[in-house]
Amino acid sequence: MTSSTIRSTRGRGRLFDSILDTVGDTPVIRINNLAPEGVRLYVKAEFFNPAASVKDRLALNIIEAAERSGKLKPGQTVVEATSGNTGIGLAMVCAQKGYPLVITMAESFSVERRRLMRLLGAKVILTPRAQKATGMYNKAVELAEKNGWFLARQFETEANADIHESTTAQEILNDFAGDRLDYLVTGYGTGGTVTGLARVLRKARPETRIVLTEPANAALVSSGIAQPRLENGSPASAHPAFEPHPIQGWTPDFIPLVLQECLDNGGFDEMIPVAGADGIAWARKLAAQEGILTGISGGSTFAVAMQVAQRAEPGSVILAMLPDTGERYLSTPLFQDIADDMDEEERALSLSTPGYQLG
């Protein structure tokens, strides 16, 4: 596609009081090169949030809801278990608001995540990979109880789905006002996105089919096995259907209480599992053919959206959620085959002119 006019911008027409005021209002972007003919395929690019993921939304609302209720006191330490994106969002929020932050995270998650959190001022406590998400979760609970810290409880708190009900869903309604929206595709980590969206779309856009996806080798919801829970809704044990998978940020080794609302209320129409390798492949295609840099979770959601698009009726409109940026995956299989050094074709191009060549 080419443009015959020079692009111009005019600013947002406002000045922002802090980085926190830039959370939300992420763009919906059309897929032009990869979409099958006859349908319109869009992605909601959550990496436009200031700390580059959808979890900025819930991080901000968890802290501000706790401030409003009085559960979080000035200067009190915040602690949370996270695979990374919630922790990065919390680190941004806590840096701006002046709260110390301690993160617990399984050692299996990418080093970029822990370094970003530490850069933003958080302390990161690593837990053994063999103990999976349940281990990092229980470590956060231990630290909160011992020290009197505020436990963010992203997997259980109402503040999680609430922010998607009041922001993400409203943005989608406004962006598709007067237009079709036949399918919305999303994965789940905590379940906040799909639960909040379902609350709104079931009423405002009942014709929109909500497609949920999860890792094919960790199909907790598809298994039909109920999650054992404690009285407060937290997991009593790991889910028996869980296996380690490469889609970081998705599907911990338990079904979160936040997601349970969606499951109990029929908040989705179809579940399509996806292989991690397919998510990696489609994330690479999005980057190389659309210029859209997303992570493995975004590639996995898009892989399912492509399945939906290929079978959809002509004229259908499909929206896929892209949770975060690809730069958060530099040490993961997403970049495994991306070389640091020049390949043969690049070396040949370098040698095609006489100057400025590496020795």
Catalytic residue among 53, 83, 110, 297: 297
Virtual torsion, Cα 197, 27, 96, 141, nearest 10 deg: 30
Q: Give the closest residue to 235 by CA, choosing from 247, 219, 251, 223.
A: 251
Residue 203 appears among annotated catalytic residues: no
Which among 90, 34, 60, 78 is positioned nearest to 294, based on CA atoms?
A: 34
- HSE of 153, CA atoms in CB hemisphere, 13 A: 21
Query: Is the Cβ–Cβ distance between 217 and 243 less than 8 Å?
Result: yes
Report yes or no: 164 and 141 within 8 Å, Cβ to Cβ. no
CA nearest neighbour of 118 among 91, 140, 136, 85: 91
Active site residue 300: no
Given 55, 110, 132, 316, the catalytic residue: 55
Alpha-carbon distance values, 80 to 104, 154, 297, 336, 351 (Å): 6, 8, 21, 30, 52
Closest by CA to 77, choosing from 146, 159, 155, is 146
Contact 257, 156 (CB under 8 A): yes
Query: CA-based Rg of the chain, rounded to a whole angstrom?
Result: 21
d(CA 132, CA 152): 19
User: Six-digit token pair at 209?
Assistant: 């089919």
| Beta partners for residue 132, in sequence order | none
Q: Are strands 78-81 and 101-106 parallel, antiparallel or unpaired?
A: parallel
Catalytic sites, residue numbers: 55, 297
